[in-house]
Amino acid sequence: MTTVLAMSVAATFATTEASLAQTKLKWAHVYETSEPFHTASVWAAQEIGKRTNGRYQIDVYPASQLGKEADINQGLSLGSVDIIISGSSFAAKSFPPIGVTYYPYTFRDADHLLAYTKSDIFKELAKGYEDKSGHHIVAVTYYGVRQTSSNKPIKTCADMKGLKMRVPDVPAYLAMPRACGANTAPIAFAEVYLALQNGTVEAQENPLTTIEAKKFYEVQKHIVLTGHIVDHLNTVIAGALWKKLSDEDKKIFTDVAQEAAAKATEAIKEKEAKLVAFFKEKGLTVTEVDKNEFRDTVLKNVPFETFGYRKADWERIQAVK
């Protein structure tokens, strides 16, 4: 009887010790389960578990399950989330200069963006964000080139005058539409489809991959290749978690997050290349525009200082090769 009791106590102790040793974390984002950002996040969560011998159990919450993008950014400080995927436009709410990457026509293409993430200017901006917010950027994923979809034809910047257009409530995203005279509305990401469907807005802007994933093409007639922002997402670890990680675990989290970002980036680049044909097959009109005309209008009408960006940072990014 004593032996059985001793074994039971030992088993209970071992179970308790194991549960104490495992840290449960929440990884959140606003994207659909079909998108590479989610599948790469799930892979990363599992891979971190493997490489740390099960010391971390990370659950991934997609599609705004833990809140809108602004909510999960706040959650990093509140402790409601531990890791998020989110754009530099939201990081800019803590440290405005990092948002300069969202100023229209900053990057030439995906390769220029990825070169920037390895540059000194990126390291400086990421450090500025961490100093202000306490949170640490571990990886950057290419999100796609932001294009415009509309129920009205658009061939020039002037054609957007008076257009009711959904744009995220982030200054840099608003720059191009407002420079062209659109009437912008900050509708939540999860509510855009319905807003387009019922005519609350006539247009929106997002990468082609997002337009496809969210099925916006079902409630739009035109795809307009404005190419105004080469977009990206940051994988951000809450400062409270980052400080607790050992140097070894910091390396594991960083390595895995960067491998996951590379996987998602390649998937996005491949899919994006096929989508113009897809939208044409769905009956939408796809229009090429003179990007120089759009860019010049933005540069003329929307000063960098409007957002708290530094023109010198923009010029350094332009020079990255």
> C-alpha angle with apex 117: 64 to 105, nearest 5 degrees?
80
Report the DSSP pairing between strands 136-150 and 203-207: antiparallel
Question: pTM here?
Answer: 0.82
- In whole angstroms, give the CA distance from residue 49 to residue 26: 13
> C-alpha angle with apex 95: 92 to 99, nearest 5 degrees?
35
CA 70 to chain centre: 12
What SS3 class is residue 72? helix
Mind listing the pLDDT tens digit of every residue in the chain (321 residues)? 445 444 444 444 444 444 447 999 999 999 989 899 999 999 999 999 999 999 999 999 999 999 999 999 999 999 999 999 999 989 999 999 999 998 999 999 999 999 999 999 999 999 999 999 999 999 999 999 999 999 999 999 999 999 999 998 877 889 999 999 999 999 988 899 999 999 999 999 999 988 998 999 999 999 999 999 998 999 999 999 999 999 999 999 999 999 999 999 999 999 999 999 999 999 999 999 999 999 999 999 998 888 889 999 999 999 999
- pLDDT for 257 equals 98
- pLDDT for 306 equals 83
- pLDDT for 308 equals 87
